[in-house]
Amino acid sequence: MELPLGKCLSGVDHTGSMTQVTAFAPGRVEILGNHTDYNGGVVLSAALHLGITATGHRLDDGEIRLSSSGVRHERKIHRATGLKKTGEWIDYPLGVAEMLARAGAEAGGFEVSYESTLPAGAGLSSSAALEVATAVLLTRLYPFEISRMDLAKLCRRAENEFVGVNCGLLDQASSVFGKKDHLVYLDCRSESVDAAPFPSHLGLLIINSGVKHALTGGEYNERREQCFEAARCMGVVALRDATSAQLEAAEMPELAKRRARHVVGENERVLLAIDALRSGRAEALGPLMSASHRSSMENFENSTPELDLLVNLATAQPGCLGARLTGGGFGGAIVALVEVGAAESVRVAVEAAYVAQTKHKATGILCCAGDGALPAED
């Protein structure tokens, strides 16, 4: 059952009369489907138990005040002057406020403070969690009915049109649609979401490389355009419509073919993973994840030496079934599929070997698949 956001949620009266409300949105870890979302493909991810909490209230003066536990001074923006991009973290919530206004929401003045349990720069989509937490909070302060999928799409538009990163729907949909003990299966073309069971004896060990992840530079948009070039060369609407055999037979620049080889292969790996999960063969995800990372190294070139080292160290440990970079790449974290009983020994061994070889400190945490910001009613 779809839960409209203008209804009474977490004790918040639908009139918005309470002075303070709180919203939580989780980060996400991408299991398979790297860079497939903006290519009309399929993705497998998990919402985490880590995320961003937004606490706020209305302001009658029409002012917007934003602060974070990591920022000493609050930022004040007068709506009368219009919302403009600042180049700072506040662009994400400002973008959400702008998109809500365009959608017809009242969204007057408000003050919000944010707290995060997500490690910065780890590629666990803190930006989408920030957007989703803001959107949920604002639609509680200023009641506005919107479906879960439309909320995810509104947050994506905030990042595309206001922040200026041409991301797909994966991060926002994962944060909204997460389901405890399940992975999120997103079809980016039909914009439909399903859940696949994730067994309790396996876990997701996320290991931060200590090398900051950032997609505000040109690498993400460059890869996106290379994928679109490959699709044009093949005469297909998107790489979702191509098979690996068709790609290899097509004529196009070698660089575009390598980029497309990664995306087409990722779509195929996601479908194999879904079949494995639904037939009780979750361990099969491990080799698929390792194959995904090899493709990131060789074809998409969005890995780093540090991420490659972490994957090699993790997969050498007993109890680790496979590993890959997660998120957009270019730094951040890896995710390893591990037997829960072996997770701690894998973490300790990888952290020790990594710091010895790189002098960077890696930080591992065993994560569980959790609920999204707006779990569906049963």
Among candidate residues 51, 65, 59, 68, the one with its CA nearest the CA of residue 142: 59
Q: Which domains does the chain have, with CATH numbers?
A: 21-195 (3.30.230.10)
Whole-number Å distance between alpha carbons of 130 and 182: 22
Per residue, the 3-state secondary structure of the chain, as one string, reads CCCCCCCCECCECCCCCCCCEEEEEEEEEEEECCCCHHHCCEEEEEEEEEEEEEEEEEECCCEEEEEECCCCCCEEEEHHHCCCCCCCCCHHHHHHHHHHHHCCCCCCEEEEEEEECCCCCCCCCHHHHHHHHHHHHHHHHCCCCCCHHHHHHHHHHHHHHHHCCCCCCHHHHHHHHCCCCEEEEEECCCCEEEEEECCCCEEEEEEECCCCCCCCCCHHHHHHHHHHHHHHHHCCCCHHHCCHHHHHHCCCCHHHHHHHHHHHHHHHHHHHHHHHHHCCCHHHHHHHHHHHHHHHHHHHCCCCHHHHHHHHHHHCCCCEEEEEEECCCCCCEEEEEEEHHHHHHHHHHHHHHHHHHHCCCCEEEEECCCCCCCCCCC
Among candidate residues 173, 167, 112, the one with its CA nearest the CA of residue 142: 112
pLDDT in tens, the chain (378 residues): 232 333 323 333 433 444 799 999 999 999 999 999 889 999 999 999 899 999 999 999 899 999 998 665 678 888 877 799 999 999 999 999 999 999 999 888 999 999 999 877 677 888 999 999 999 999 999 999 999 999 999 999 999 999 998 787 889 999 999 999 999 999 999 999 999 999 999 999 999 998 876 555 578 789 999 999 999 999 999 999 999 999 999 999 999 999 999 999 999 999 999 999 999 999 999 999 999 999 999 999 999 999 999 999 999 999 999 999 998 888 889 999 999 999 999 999 999 999 999 999 999 999 989 999 986 653
- List of residues 6+ apart from 313 with CB closer than 8 A: 349, 350, 353, 354
Task: Give 11: exposed, middle or buried? Use CB within 10 Å, 0-12, 13-18, 19+.
Answer: exposed
Q: What is the pLDDT of residue 19?
A: 79
Tokens 């790996």, located at residue? 269
Q: What is the CB neighbour count within 10 angstroms for residue 358? A: 16
Q: Angle at the Cα of 282 (from 148 to 265), degrees rounded to 5?
A: 75
Q: What is the pLDDT of residue 221?
A: 82
Dihedral sign from CA coordinates of 244, 248, 252, 253:
positive
Q: Tell me the catalytic residues.
A: 171
CA distances for 21 relative to 11, 27, 57, 69, 206, angstroms = 9, 20, 6, 17, 31
Q: What is the CB neighbour count within 10 angstroms for residue 323? A: 29
Q: What is the pLDDT of residue 1?
A: 25
Q: What is the pLDDT of residue 376?
A: 60
Q: Angle at the Cα of 54 (from 48 to 55), degrees rounded to 5?
A: 140
Q: What is the pLDDT of residue 287?
A: 98
Q: Which amino acid is at 296?
A: S
CA distances for 303 relative to 190, 320, 324, 327, 334, angstroms = 29, 20, 9, 10, 10
Q: What is the pLDDT of residue 17?
A: 42
